[in-house]
Structure 1
Amino acid sequence: MTNTEVHENQHLLAEHTQRLDWMALAPEAFKALLRLDTAVRKNIDSRLHDLVKIRASQINHCAFCLDMHTTDALTSGESVERIVQLSAWTESRHFYTAKEIAAIELTEAITVLTDGFVPDEVYAKAAQEFDETELAHLIAAIVAINAFNRFGVSTRMIPGHYTPGGSH
């Protein structure tokens, strides 16, 4: 790395400082989101849940959550290839099951509500792949990760320090 590159990287780091520690300042809100995530985790396939969390975090540009959830997915045995291809899943559908694609499509629709809300065809495809209880938990999982993403992005949580099994 050249001196110029080091200087530029230091400048970028100085600009990206966490604004506040929302988890410490709003512990009840943080605990409530954790309870939601825990309830969802009991009722949704863990690999599918990882894909949903990663895809929503990609869309929301939440670097902290991407760091956390890709690390967790890799630790749980997810392949690097499927994680890398997730941002281009429409061109690499063969990496995912029909059920995973339905969940990814629903994740995108719920995450980006301003793009026409949740289209009937996206919801119908998810309803074909998931029973009503599973679908309710999938929607809850998508809502939860979007809430976490919004806290992460708005408070500028800094990625790169997460370890599985450690604190958030």
Structure 2
Amino acid sequence: MTTNPSTHTSEVAAPRPQFAKSAPKAFRALVALDAAAREGLDLALVELVQIRASHLNHCAYCLHLHTGDARKAGESEDRLHMVAVWREARHFFTEREQAALALTDAVTLVAGAGVPDDVHAEAAACFDERELSQLLALICTINTWNRVALATGKVAGTDER
């Protein structure tokens, strides 16, 4: 028998919290941070960053949500398919997008090696200080959303926003 190590076995699973209803102030604060983080950033870049972090965090709910949003914003299927392997498919992405994706990888996987100086330098060469700060806020926000979605058992394609 195969078991999923990410789930705990029990007779009756406890219901997952409904974050927006159970912690409305925290939910509204996260929504506000999300909106503030996006300010001044290109919509295509925002979606690419959110998709990449969601890949790394294995958040199917957010991945489904943000690939749908990216399609609605006109993103190509080719680029959407290449986000997961962006380092091997650099020609699909601009220099700025590559720098943002590298920073997304480093910040999302920060426990591994922190944010290496070369990754920061690449991002700093492509973004001014304000944009870089906005990008950092965006990366932190999507990582938080991923964790909320995973912890509350959100299911891709079935749950509402």
State the Cα distance separating 1:31 from its structure 2 match. Answer: 0.7
Counterpart of 1:89 in 2: which secondary structure? helix
Alignment partner, residue 116 of structure 1 = 113
Compared with structure 1, are the counterparts of its residues 18 and 42 closer, same or farther at alpha carbon in structure 2 (3 Å cutoff)?
farther
Aligned residues: 150
Give me the whole-angstrom Cα distance separating, in 2, the residues matched to 1:95 and 1:85.
7
Alignment partner, residue 13 of structure 1 = none
Alignment partner, residue 92 of structure 1 = 89
The answer as to 2:58 corresponding to 1:61 is: yes
After TM superposition, the structure 1 = structure 2 runs for residues 70-85 of structure 1, keeping only pairs within 5 Å, are 70-85=67-82
Alignment partner, residue 131 of structure 1 = 128
Is the contact made by 1:18 and 1:157 (CA closer than 8 Å) also made in structure 2? no
Q: Which residues of structure 2 form unaligned runs of 5+?
A: 1-12
Give me the whole-angstrom Cα distance separating, in 2, the residues matched to 1:83 and 1:19.
31
Compared with structure 1, are the counterparts of its residues 161 and 89 closer, same or farther at alpha carbon in structure 2 (3 Å cutoff)?
same
Alignment partner, residue 143 of structure 2 = 146
Displacement over 6 Å in runs of 4+:
none
Report Cα offsets for 1:3-49 as digits up to 9, x if no partner.
xxxxxxxxxxxxx9972211111111111111011112222111000
Is the contact made by 2:39 and 2:134 (CA closer than 8 Å) also made in structure 1? no
**Structure with the larger RCO, 1 or 2 (CA within 8 Å, 6+ apart):** 1
Alignment partner, residue 40 of structure 1 = 37
RMSD: 1.8
Is the contact made by 1:17 and 1:156 (CA closer than 8 Å) also made in structure 2? no
Q: Which residues of structure 1 form unaligned runs of 5+?
A: 1-15
Compared with structure 1, are the counterparts of its residues 21 and 123 closer, same or farther at alpha carbon in structure 2 (3 Å cutoff)?
same
